Amino acid sequence: MTLEADILAAFPAEVRIPARLVADAVAASSAETPRMLVVLDDDPTGTQSVADLPVLTRWEVEDFIWAFGQAKPAVYVLTNTRSLDPAEAAARNEEVVRNALAAAGSSDALRLGFVSRSDSTLRGHYPLEPDVIAATVADVSGEATDGVVLVPAFPDAGRVTIGGVHYMRGTGDDAGKLTPVAETEFAKDASFGFASSDMTKYVEEKSRGRFAAESVIVLDLNIIRASADPQITAKAIADAIEPATNSTPIVADIVTENDLRALSLGLEEAERRGKKLLYRVGPPFVRARIGQEIRTELTGAEAYAGNTPSEAGGLIVVGSHVGVTTRQLKALTEQHSAARIVEIDVEKLLGDNADAYLDQMVGTVVDALHGGDAIVHTSRLLIKTEDPVESLRIARTVSAAVVAVVNRTLKTFPPRFVIAKGGITSSDVAAHGLEIRHAIVRGPMLPGIVSLWEPVDGPAKGIPYIVFAGNVGDDDSLAQVTRKLSNTF
């Protein structure tokens, strides 16, 4: 580990940039033809940094027509591709882009920009997804992509990029210290592991040498914080991007929200000059790119605004196995003595009597909700395999079982609220467990993290749904969110 202050000492201080400055720049460029960002989110946790935007779990042309009709600057499309193999992920990205472009119709009516939202700890199908988006846009419109801008930083959750190196901030006794992300548990992911924290080398590693490290454009903090005048900085960023062609990777240093806003102004200037860019980013990028203010955390009353909460208990579903999730689950169960804990045995899900076992689990959860909150979690013993395909198969089997429990519970005895912990878990619970097709992201449940969706259709309409990434928050965060929503905690 190294101290963040020591690394930052080599760079200029951050420059305060109001969100309104970015919003005004975006509005000016959209004066004649409105622009909307289509965010292909590889799991639903990308929404945790934004508010009041539409989200889709289906992507037929009519779904995009509904979303575009909301007249918002961005729409999130829940692709869930982090749970798919490469061929499936590629096909899904292509389908989403083609349908979005078809729904937009004539380019005179609506301009689309595309964002490939992925994990702030660098796990996901890169460079596959931006490659497919670029190729599909070119095939449909003839428009070539000049650059792919990589912004994995998520300062709210302790992920920052400095000097082209991506770090995780420490917490507790390690606060103020930075660990290169390749030295964390996330780099050992069975499906998406990696060896490089230096983003230029990460690009070379993941592209298998197609993009050499030295070919990557790095927008370090000397450029992101080039001047106290944001317009001068915007021009410096656009100048640095100018050489980009044929999907050149562009890496940006980001430590604060002001850095994201400075970058957004520079990207706006680059696009005004004619550069065609795609974005591969962590959660807060879209908020900054559209000039949205940071939404304060929602209160319990705001979470239920416009709806009458059920007297049933709430359902907390935990699927993630990363260390922070296990600690959060432990804290919640220790503090919430009134909750019923239902553990789903993964080995039984993979066994011969899985159907009967599921019936038993549904009955147990429904019974629990009659008396209060139910905490449903998979057994913490992670079944590991060195085969990435088999690892995904096991993850899907477990997720399908969790989804079945949620869906059957919903239709038997609807809960007061639903919290889903973990990326794949929260995606599958949304699209299949709760049968959400269209929703509105209302805002975060904790400062900058943990998203509340309001379903606008389907059997879960009116039930607050909380999307909680596996790798964010401190040990007490899951308990804090549950306490806001529960009537028995």
What band does 385 get if pLDDT is binned at 50, 70 and 90?
Answer: low
DSSP codes, 376-421: EEE-S-----S-HHHHHHHHHHHHHHHHHHHHHHHHHS--S-EEEE
Give per-residue pLDDT as tens, 365-377.
999 999 999 999 8
pLDDT at 78 (0 to 100): 94
DSSP annotation of 156 reads G
What band does 233 get if pLDDT is binned at 50, 70 and 90?
Answer: very high
* More confident call, 423 vs 157: 157
Give per-residue pLDDT as tens, 236-254.
999 999 999 999 999 999 9
Cβ atoms of 485 and 464 closer than 8 Å? yes
Superfamily name and number for 300-485: Four-carbon acid sugar kinase, nucleotide binding domain (3.40.980.20)
Report the pLDDT averaged over residues 282-309. 95
Tokens (6 digits) for 420: 């889903």
Place of tokens 């729409």: 75
pLDDT exceeds cutoff 90 at 422: no
pLDDT exceeds cutoff 70 at 382: no
How does 286-309 read in b/e, with b if 16+ C-beta sit within 10 Å? bbbbbbbebbebbebebbbeeeeb
pLDDT at 400 (0 to 100): 85
Burial of 5 (0-12, 13-18, 19+ CB in 10 A): exposed
What band does 147 get if pLDDT is binned at 50, 70 and 90?
Answer: very high
The three-state secondary structure class of 173 is helix
pLDDT exceeds cutoff 70 at 319: yes
* More confident call, 309 vs 261: 261
pLDDT at 380 (0 to 100): 56
pLDDT exceeds cutoff 60 at 131: yes
d(Cα 27, Cα 424) in Å, to the nearest integer? 35
Give per-residue pLDDT as tens, 15-59.
999 999 999 999 999 888 889 999 999 988 889 999 999 999 999
Place of tokens 């930052």: 8
Domain 2-289 has CATH 3.30.360.10: no
Prior bond to 127 cis, omega within 30? yes
DSSP codes, 263-297: HHHHHHHHHHTT--EEEEE-TTHHHHHTTPPPPPP
pLDDT exceeds cutoff 80 at 388: no
pLDDT exceeds cutoff 90 at 395: no
Share above pLDDT 70 across residues of the chain, in percent, rounded to a whole number: 98
Burial of 411 (0-12, 13-18, 19+ CB in 10 A): exposed
Tokens (6 digits) for 381: 């013993």
| Low-confidence winner among 226-235, 262-271, 356-365, 396-405 (lowest mean pLDDT) | 396-405
Report the pLDDT averaged over residues 334-348. 92
Query: Can you give the C-alpha Rg of the chain in angstroms?
Result: 22
pLDDT exceeds cutoff 90 at 469: no
Nearest to 484 by CA among 332, 317, 330: 332
Report the pLDDT averaged over residues 403-423. 94
Q: Chain-wide mean pLDDT for the chain? A: 93
d(Cα 335, Cα 419) in Å, to the nearest integer? 17
Report the pLDDT averaged over residues 299-306. 94
pLDDT at 255 (0 to 100): 98
Same fold, 2-289 and 300-485: no
Domain boundaries, the chain: 2-289, 300-485
DSSP annotation of 141 reads H
The three-state secondary structure class of 148 is strand
Query: What are the C-alpha distances in Å from 238 to residues 112, 275, 291?
Result: 20, 9, 18
Please count the CA atoms within 13 angstroms of the CA of 446 that sit on its side-chain side: 19
pLDDT exceeds cutoff 70 at 384: no
Nearest to 227 by CA among 253, 273, 268, 266: 266
pLDDT at 107 (0 to 100): 54
Report the pLDDT averaged over residues 345-352. 84
